[in-house]
Amino acid sequence: MHSILAVDDSASMRQMVSFTLKSAGYTVVEAVDGQDAYEKAQGRSFDLVLTDQNMPRMDGISLTKKLRETAQFKTTPILMLTTESSDQMKQAGRAAGATGWLVKPFDPNKLIEVIQKVIR
C-alpha cells in the first residue's frame, strides 16, 4: 500500500486530495503547512509528497529543499501543486529538487494519472 504525504494549508483542498487519493487506494497523511509536513516526515518515509506552494510557516519550496536534505527523502517523488506554470516557478522547483508540478485547479482524475507515473 503506497503512502502519500499531502501538504496544503487549505482544509478543503486537503480533504479533496485526501479523499481522491484514498479512493484510489493510497494511504494519505495530511499536513497543514511545510513545518507540519517536515515534522511528520521525521523518522518515516513516503512513496510521494504532494505539496502546495504558498503556506504559512514553511512554504512548498522550502519544504522540498529540507526533505531533499533528509536521507529517506532524497529520491522520493515530490510534486508541487501550484497555481501557475511560469518559468520562474519551474526554476525554483527544479532548483529545490522537486520532481515535477501539477497546476491547480486540477481534475481529481488527472491527479491520479500523474501520481501513477511517479509512484512505483
Partner 1 sequence: MADTSTDNSSAAGIDLSQFYQVFFEEAGENLENMEQLLLELDITAADDEEMNAIFRCAHSIKGGAATFGFSDVAELTHQMETLLDKLRRHELVPTPPMVDVLLQSGDALKAMLGRHQGNGGEQVDTSELLTNIRAMVAGEAPPVAPVAHVPAPRVEAPVAQAAPVAAVPAGAAPTSGKRTVELRVGPLTDMSLADNLVELFKEIADLGTISALPDDPSLAGYRRFKVDTASNESDMLDLFTFHVAREQVTFLPFGQAVAAPVVAEPVAAPEKGYGFFDDAPGAPSANHVATPVVAAEAAQPKPVAPAAKPAAPKVDKPAAALEASTIRVSVEKVDQLINLVGELVITQAMLAQNSRGLDPVVYQQLVTGLTDLDRNTRDLQEAVMSIRMIPMSTVFSRFPRMLRDLANKLGKKVELVTQGEATELDKGLVEKITDPLTHLVRNSCDHGVEMPADRLAKGKPEVGTITLAASHQGGSIVIEVRDDGRGLNREKLLSKAREKGIDAPDSMTDAEVWSLIFAPGFSTADQVTDVSGRGVGMDVVKKNIASLGGTVEIDSAEGYGMRVSVRLPLTLAIMDGMSVGVGEEVYILPLSSVVESFQVSEEMVKTIGGSGRVVEVRDEYMPVVELEKVFQVPRFDYEHTSGIMVVVEAESGRVAMLVDELLGQQQVVVKNLETNYRKVNDVSGATIMGDGRVALILDVGSLVRRSRH
Least distance from partner 1 to the Cβ atom of residue 80, Å: 10
CA gap 95, 46 in Å, rounded: 21
* Residue 48 beta carbon to partner 1: minimum distance, rounded to whole angstroms: 8
Among 6, 28, 35, 38, binds partner 1 (CB under 8 A): 35
Phi-psi region of 43 (alpha: psi -120 to 50; beta: other; left: phi over 0): left
Q: Is 110 in the site for partner 1 (CB under 8 A)?
A: yes
Site mask for partner 1 (CB under 8 A), range 51-80, x = bound: -xxxxxxxx-xx--xx-xx----xxxxxx-
CB 10 within 8 A of CB 17: no
